[in-house]
Amino acid sequence: MDQIILQILNGLDKGSAYALIALGLTLIFGTLGVVNFAHGALFMIGAFCAVTLSRILSLSHVVLDETKKDFLGKPLKVEVPYANDWFGPELGGAIIDWAVPLSILFAIPVMILIGVIMERGLIKHFYKRPHADQILVTFGLAIVLQEIIKYYFGANQIPTPAPEAFVGSFDFGALIGLDSGKVIYPYWRILYFCFAMLLIGLVFAFLQFTTFGMVVRAGMADRETVGMLGINIDRRFTIMFGIAAAVAGLAGVMYTPINPPNYHMGMDFLVISFVVVVVGGMGSLPGAVLAGLLLGILESFASVREVIEFLPGINQVVIYLAAIVILLTRPRGLMGRKGVMED
Amino acid sequence: MVTTNLTRRGVIQTGAAAGAGLALPTILTAGSHAGFTNAPTGSTVTLGFNVPQTGAYADEGADELRAYELAVEHLNGGGDGGMLSTFSSKSLNGTGILGKKVEYVTGDTQTKPDAARASARSMIEKDGAIMITGGSSSGVAVAVQSLCQEAGIIFMAGLTHSNDTTGKDKKANGFRHFFNSYMSGAALAPILASNYGTDRKAYHLTADYNWGYTTEEAVRTSTEAMGWETVAAVKTPLAQTDFSSYIAPVLGSGADVLVLNHYGGNMVNSLTSAVQFGLRAAEANGKNFEIVVPLYSRLMAKGAGKNVAGIFGSTNWHWSLENVAGSKYAGSNAFVQSFGTKYGFPPSQAAHTVYCQTLLYADAVQRAGSFNPCAVAEALEGFEFDGLGNGPTVYRAADHQCIKDVLVVKGKENPENDFDLLEIVDVTPAEAVTYDPAIFGGDLGSCNPGA
Amino acid sequence: MFGLEKRDANLLIAVGALVLLAPIFLNPFPEGSALAQFNAGYPDLMQRFVIFGIFAIGFNILFGLTGYLSFGHAAFLGAGSYAGVWMLKLLTINVIPAIVISTLVAGVFALIIGFISLRRSGIYFSILTLAFAQMSFALAASVLTPITGGETGLQTALDDPRILDAANESRNIPAPSLFGLHMNDSAQLAVGDWLWTFNVGYYVAGIVMLAAFYVAIRIFRSPFGMMLRAIKSNQQRLNYTGLNTRPYMLACFVISGMYAGLAGGLMVSMDPLAGAERMQWTASGEVVLMTILGGVGTLIGPVLGAGLIKYFENIFSKINDNLLHQWFSFLPQGLEDFVVTIIHPFIGKGWHLTLGLMFMAVIIFLPGGLVELGQRASKLFKKRNPPQTGGQKEPAE
C-alpha cells in the first residue's frame, strides 16, 4: 500500500513537469498551429534563468586568505559575495539561499520577452509553411539556443539547490494517516507538484474567465471569423506564445533543485513531451495535462523492482508502449479533436 | 595497383618529389612504404586526440584536451617539463619523439561509438595520425580500440573504466592506464568494511549498460566477500534523468547502504535524488544509512554540489595525492604545478590519465627506436615505471592494463572552492587490486602494424 | 536509356560521374596547404556520403512521395546494421551476404512496424514510428545486450565461427572484403601537390548507391509512384473512389525501410561495428534534416543534404584553435587573435552551433533546400548565358 502511494506521488510529481511542458506546446500548437521543437529549449532556458540569478546574487569579490594555501601553494583566494557585504552575512546568505524561488519573478518577464521575440522574429514567417519546415527551423533554433547556453555555462551540470528550508524530506504517510516512516517524500518535489497545479489552474482560468482568454479560445476554434470581426487576433496569439514560453520557463526554474540543470536538459524532455501532447490529443489542453500526469504515474510504476523483474526492460519502453496502445485504440489520443494535424 | 593502408606521409613525399620533377601523375604501389600505417617521414609526427567535445561529457573532454596540449608542449621541450622530470624513464629529452616535432589533430567523439570511429578514421586516413588517444566512456574506448587494431594504429585509452576494455574486448594495439571496475570494487571493499562494518545490507542501482553491469558485479562480489548482503539490484535506463521512482522505495526495502553504479549525469541526478529523499539523514537497521559511488570524478562532484559530502568512492588519481600520501606518488605535484600555472585550476583525473598516456606512448617509441606499432607495443608490455603520479606502476603484458594503487576518496564536507571537492581517505595498494587477467576472457590477438 | 527518360538518364549519368570522380573533386586543395583541412576526399567520409545518401534516398521515397513523416527510420538502419554484423560474424567475412541479409531483415522489420503504424496518419503516424524506434533503441542498448552488444556495440571478434570461411590462421580479425578485395584497401594517385585516394569500399558503396538511385528514379516515374503522389495530395478522395491505399503505403514503407537496411548493411561492411545509438531519435531526425535540407521530393536533393550534414560533422568538428592560428598567422598578432576569437565559438566543440545556424538559414531562405539553390543559380546562369545548363553549385558535395 505505501509503495503504491509512494509511486503515485512520484508519478504525479514527475508527470507535472511533463504536463507543464506539454501544456505550453499545446497552447502554441492550438493557437498558432505551429509545431515548436524549441519548446524543450525554453524549458532549459528557464532553468538557466535560475542559474543566472543565483550567480548574479552571489557575485563576489576575491579576498586573499594568507592563512590557507591553494593547490599551487599560493595564498587561498576566498570569494566573498557582494550580497554579504551589503546586507551582512545573514541576510545576504538568505538572499542567495532563496535564489531559486526569487528566479520565478526574474524568469517571467525574461521568458515572455524571449517568447515574443521568437514569435515575431521567426515563427511568424512559418505559419503558412509545412509542418516539416516548422519542425526543422525550430529544431535549428533549439540547437542554437542550447549551444549558446553551453558556451557560457559549460556542459557540466550546475548544482542549484533549493532554499535550506525546503531541503530534505518529510513523512507524507503520517500526514494521511499511514504508518510513520513508510512514505517519505522530499519537500521540494511536493512543492513542485503544487506549483505546477497552480500554474495550470491559472492558465485555464485565464483562458476561461477573461475576455482576452475568450477571444483566444474563439481564435483557436476559428481564426478567420474572429479576424473578420475586427479583432487583432495575431497580437493576442503573440502574447499567448509569450505565456507558453513563460510556462515552460517556470517549469524549468522550479525543476533546477530536483536535478541540476545542464544545457541538454531540454532535449531530454522534448521527445517525451511530444509523446505526451499526442497521447493527450493534439490541440487539447486538458488532454495534455491528463496525459502528462498519467504517463508520469505509469513511468513510476514501471520502475518498481518487482515489475522490472517480471518484465525486464519495461522501464525503458513503457511510455512508448503506452503511446502505441493509446493511439491504436483511440485514434486521436485521449481527448483530441478530429482533423487536427492529420495531413 | 591496390595497396593496403598506404602510408600517407610517405606518399606525400614521394608524390611531391615526382611531381616537382616531371609534373606527371605518379601511381604508387606497395613497397613504397615503411611497413606500417602512417609511418612519419617528415620532421614531424602527428598524434590524434579524440575526445568528447559535444554532449554531456564535453567538459571532461575539454579537460583532456588541455592535458594533451600540455603533454605536447612538454614533449617538444616547452614549458616546465611537467612530469618528464619525475618520470622514471629518462629517454625523452624534450626534442619531440625520435627527434620529430610532435603535432596533433583533434576530433569529437560525441560520446557515441559511431561518431568516435568516424572521427578516428578521419584522423588516420586524412591527417596521418600515428596514434589515437582519448575518450570518456567505455563504449567509445572499445569501439575505437578495435578500429585502431584493424587500421594498425596504437590506441592509448583515455577515461574508460569498464572491465571490458582490457577484458573481453582487449586488443593487442590498445593500452589502458586508467583503472577499472574490478579494481574499484577491490579497493573500496576493505575501506567500506572498516568504516561501515561488515554487517550491511546493500541496495544497488545500476545504469543499464555494459559499464554498469561490470561495476555492479565488481562491487557486489567484493563487498559480499567481506560479509555484506545484497538486498536488491535494480537496473535504471541510461537515458533516465529523474531517478526518484528508483530511489523512493530504497528506504522501505530493509537496506542500509545504497550503491549507485552510475556515472556522469546519471550519477549526479541519482545522488541528488537520493539526498533529497533524505537517505543521508535516515537510519535503517539501527545504523546510519550510507551511500556509495564506485567511480568518482571531480566534474561529477561539482555537478552534484553539496550532495557529495561524506560519500565514498574510488578514483584513479587526485591532485592532492602527493601532499596527502607522500612522495611515493612523486610526479603529482609536478603535474599539478605545470597544469595549474597554465590553466589556473588543478587537473582532473581524466586530464592526468591522458597526459600519462601521451608520455608513456612517446617514451615507448623512444625506447623502441621506431614508430612501428608492434615495436611500441613490445616496449609497453611489461613496462615498469614510476614518477607519473600513481607510484610504481606496471603495464601488464597479458592484457595491456596498468596495475597501480587505487585511491579511495570521499566528498568533502566543507569544500573551499570548486576544485577542492574530494578528499583522499586511503590508498589501496596495487597488490590488493591485482587480478588474474584470464578471468574476463577475451583475446589480445597479435599486434597489427597495418600496411 | 536504361528505360529512363532523357532527363532522368542525364541525371543518372551525372550522378554516376560525380560518384566516380568524387575522390578527385572532393580534394580540391593541395596536400599540405592551409586549406587542406577542408578536403573531404578520404575514404571514411566518402563512404559516409554515399551510404547516408542511400539512407536519405530511401527516406525520401516515403516522405517525398507520400508526405508520411516517419520519425523512426533509424530503427531500420540499426536493424540492418545488426543483421549485417551477425552475418560477418557467423557466415563469412565477404560483404555480400551481410548487405543482402541486412536489407531483408530491415524489410521484415519495416513490414511489422509499418503494418501497425500505417493505421494512423499525420502526426499520429510520426509518433507511432518514433515510439517503435525509441523502444528498439532502449532495448538494444540494455536488455538485448547479448544480441546487440549493448551500448558498446556489436563487433567482429577473433573467435567468431564464420562457417563459410577457411579457418583464420592469423591472430588478427579479418577485414570485411568482397571476394578477397578488402574494403579498406586504397590506391593513391599523386598529381603535383594533389593526392587522390581511390578506395575499394567507397566504390562498392558508390555502385550500390547508383543502383539504389536508379531504382528510386524508376519508382518516382512508375504508376506506383503516381499512386503514392495521389495519396499525398488527397488520400480521402482516393478512398472515396473505392481504392484501398493501405497496400500501396505499406509497400512504400517497406521499400523505404529496405533502403535504410541496405545503408546499415553497407555501413557495417565498411566498418564492422553496429552501435545502439544508430537507432536513437536523433539519428532518425538526422535523415529528416538531410532530406529537407537537400530538397524534399526531388531525386538528387536527399543525397546533397546527406553530404552537407556529414561534411559539417566531420570537417568542422576537427578544426581547433591551433589550426586557426596557423591559418591566420599572416595577420598581425593582435588582429590574428581577434579573428580567432571571433571564429572560435563556431568550430571544434562549437560545430553544433554552426549546424543549427545553417539549418535555420537554409530553411528560412531556401524552402526548397539545396536543390532550390541550384535551380536559382542555374536560372541566373541561363539568363546571362542561355544555352548552358548550370551545374551544381555545392562545394560541399
Substitution target from B110, B112, B241 for chain A, most A beta carbons within 10 A: B241
The answer to which of A176-180, B382-386, C6-10, C85-89 has the lowest mean pLDDT is: A176-180
Residues of chain C numbered 268-327 and touching chain B (CB < 8 Å): 271, 273, 275, 277-278, 313-314, 317-318, 320, 322
Across the interface, do A144 and C353 touch by the CB < 8 Å criterion? yes
Across the interface, do C191 and B121 touch by the CB < 8 Å criterion? no
Q: Bridge partners of C279?
A: none
Cα(C276)–Cα(C204) distance, integer angstroms: 25
Same-domain pairing of B166 and B218: no
The pLDDT score that the predictor gives to residue C1 is 63
The radius of gyration computed from the CA coordinates of chain C, to the nearest angstrom, equals: 22
Shortest Cα distance, chain A CAs vs residue B273, angstroms: 7
Instruction: For strands C273-274 and C154-155, give the pairing.
Output: antiparallel
Please name the helix (run of DSSP H) or strand (run of DSSP E) that holds residue A274, with its range, or none: helix A265-280
Question: Which cell numbers in the block locate residue C100?
Answer: 543482402
Residue B445 lies in a domain: no
Residue B326 lies in a domain: no
Cα(C24)–Cα(C27) distance, integer angstroms: 6
What single-letter DSSP state applies at residue C180? T
Same-domain pairing of B137 and B165: yes
Any idea of the CA torsion for B57, B60, B65, B66, to the nearest 10 degrees?
Answer: 150
Residues of C near A (Cβ–Cβ under 8 Å) read 63, 67, 69, 116, 119-124, 127-128, 130-132, 134-135, 138-139, 142-144, 235, 281, 285, 288-289, 292-293, 296, 345, 350, 352-353, 355-360, 363-364, 367
φ, ψ for residue C388, nearest 5 deg: -70, 145
What distances in angstroms separate CA C283 from CA A133, C289, C312, one per listed residue?
Answer: 18, 10, 15
Give the confidence band of A222 by pLDDT, cuts at 50, 70, 90: confident
Instruction: For strands A60-69 and C154-155, give the pairing.
Output: unpaired
* Arithmetic mean of pLDDT over chain C: 87
The pLDDT score that the predictor gives to residue B31 is 35
Residues 6+ apart with CB under 8 A from C208: C50, C54, C99, C262, C266
Question: Which cell numbers in the block locate residue A137?
Answer: 527551423
Please name the helix (run of DSSP H) or strand (run of DSSP E) that holds residue A202, with its range, or none: helix A187-209
Same-domain pairing of B58 and B143: yes
φ, ψ for residue B262, nearest 5 deg: -125, 155
pLDDT digits (tens, 9 = 90+) for A284-338: 889 999 999 999 999 999 988 888 888 888 888 999 999 999 999 988 888 877 6
Same-domain pairing of B302 and B414: yes
The pLDDT score that the predictor gives to residue A132 is 78
Same-domain pairing of B80 and B147: yes
Cα(C314)–Cα(C319) distance, integer angstroms: 10
pLDDT digits (tens, 9 = 90+) for C43-59: 899 999 999 999 999 99
Residues 6+ apart with CB under 8 A from C37: C315, C318, C319, C323
| pLDDT exceeds cutoff 80 at C374 | yes
Cα(A75)–Cα(A242) distance, integer angstroms: 49
Residues 6+ apart with CB under 8 A from A89: none
Enclosing domain of residue B187: 182-315+406-433
Cα(A119)–Cα(A112) distance, integer angstroms: 11
Q: Bridge partners of B403?
A: B394
Cα(B38)–Cα(B45) distance, integer angstroms: 9
Same-domain pairing of B293 and B411: yes
Residue B382 lies in a domain: yes
DSSP string across B88-114: S-----SS-BTTBEEEEEEEE-TT-HH
Higher-scoring residue by pLDDT: B381, C392: B381
Across the interface, do B58 and A168 touch by the CB < 8 Å criterion? no
Residues 6+ apart with CB under 8 A from A220: A30, A31, A283
Contacts of A131 in chain C (CB under 8 A): 69, 123
| pLDDT exceeds cutoff 90 at C101 | yes
The pLDDT score that the predictor gives to residue B174 is 94
Residues 6+ apart with CB under 8 A from B204: B216, B219, B220, B230, B232, B233, B234, B259, B261
The answer to which of B176-180, C198-202, C379-383 has the lowest mean pLDDT is: C379-383
Across the interface, do A264 and B55 touch by the CB < 8 Å criterion? yes
Q: What percent of chain A lies above the pLDDT cut of 70?
A: 98
Residue B391 lies in a domain: yes
φ, ψ for residue B403, nearest 5 deg: -110, 120
| Touching chains, A (3+ CB pairs < 8 A) | B, C
Question: Which cell numbers in the block locate residue C261?
Answer: 537496411
Low-confidence ranges of chain B (pLDDT < 50): 1-32
Residue B294 lies in a domain: yes
pLDDT digits (tens, 9 = 90+) for A154-182: 888 998 888 888 888 888 877 777 777 77
Contacts of B211 in chain C (CB under 8 A): 151
Contacts of B162 in chain C (CB under 8 A): 152
Per the CB < 8 A criterion, the answer to whether B302 and B404 are in contact is no
Same-domain pairing of B421 and B276: yes
Residues of chain C numbered 135-174 and touching chain B (CB < 8 Å): 138, 141-143, 145, 150-153, 155, 157-159, 170-173
The pLDDT score that the predictor gives to residue A79 is 80
Per the CB < 8 A criterion, the answer to whether C85 and C148 are in contact is no
**Position C334, amino acid:** G
Cα(A33)–Cα(C74) distance, integer angstroms: 27
Q: Quick one: which of B176, B128, B178 has its CA closest to B151? A: B128
Cβ burial of A154 (10 Å; 0-12, 13-18, 19+) is middle
Same-domain pairing of B269 and B356: no
The pLDDT score that the predictor gives to residue B26 is 42
Cα(B315)–Cα(B295) distance, integer angstroms: 6
Same-domain pairing of B216 and B175: no
For A37, the 3-state DSSP assignment is coil
Mean pLDDT of A91-112: 89
What distances in angstroms separate CA B120 from CA B148, B153, C239, one per listed residue?
Answer: 8, 10, 52
Strand-by-strand arrangement of the B229-236 sheet: B229-236, B201-207, B257-261, B290-295, B312-315, B406-411, B422-428
The pLDDT score that the predictor gives to residue B34 is 63
The pLDDT score that the predictor gives to residue A338 is 67
**Position A301, amino acid:** F
What single-letter DSSP state applies at residue A71? T
Shortest Cα distance, chain B CAs vs residue C171, angstroms: 5
DSSP string across C102-146: HHHHHHHHHHHHHHHHTTS-HHHHHHHHHHHHHHHHHHHHTTTHH
Across the interface, do B113 and C153 touch by the CB < 8 Å criterion? yes
What distances in angstroms separate CA B371 from CA B101, B130, B152, B395, B448, one per listed residue?
Answer: 13, 8, 11, 19, 13
Higher-scoring residue by pLDDT: A311, C34: A311
The pLDDT score that the predictor gives to residue B12 is 41
Mean pLDDT of C209-222: 94
Question: Which cell numbers in the block locate residue C314?
Answer: 566531420
Higher-scoring residue by pLDDT: A294, A227: A294
Mean pLDDT of A84-96: 82
Contacts of C317 in chain B (CB under 8 A): 53-54, 107-108, 119
* Arithmetic mean of pLDDT over chain A: 87
Q: Bridge partners of B206?
A: B235, B261
φ, ψ for residue A276, nearest 5 deg: -60, -45
Residue B201 lies in a domain: yes
Same-domain pairing of B47 and B169: yes
Same-domain pairing of B49 and B130: yes
- Count, in order, helices (H) and strands (E) of chain A: 14, 4
φ, ψ for residue B134, nearest 5 deg: 120, -170
Contacts of C172 in chain B (CB under 8 A): 149, 445-446, 448
Structural domains in chain C plus CATH codes: 6-279 (1.10.3470)
B146 touches chain C (CB under 8 A): yes
What's this model's pTM, rounded to 2 decimal places? 0.89
For B156, the 3-state DSSP assignment is strand
For chain B, the domain total comes to 3
Question: Which cell numbers in the block locate residue B381?
Answer: 608490455
Contacts of B299 in chain A (CB under 8 A): 156
Q: Quick one: which of A280, A328, A278, A274 has its CA closest to C116? A: A328
For C197, the 3-state DSSP assignment is strand
The pLDDT score that the predictor gives to residue A287 is 92
Q: Write the residue in C127, C293, C359 that is nearest to A274 by C-beta.
A: C127
Residue B320 lies in a domain: no
What single-letter DSSP state applies at residue C174? P
Cα(B258)–Cα(B250) distance, integer angstroms: 8
Per the CB < 8 A criterion, the answer to whether B138 and B116 are in contact is no
Same-domain pairing of B131 and B202: no
φ, ψ for residue B282, nearest 5 deg: -80, 165
- CATH number for the domain spanning B88: value is 3.40.50.2300
Residue B293 lies in a domain: yes
B118 touches chain C (CB under 8 A): yes
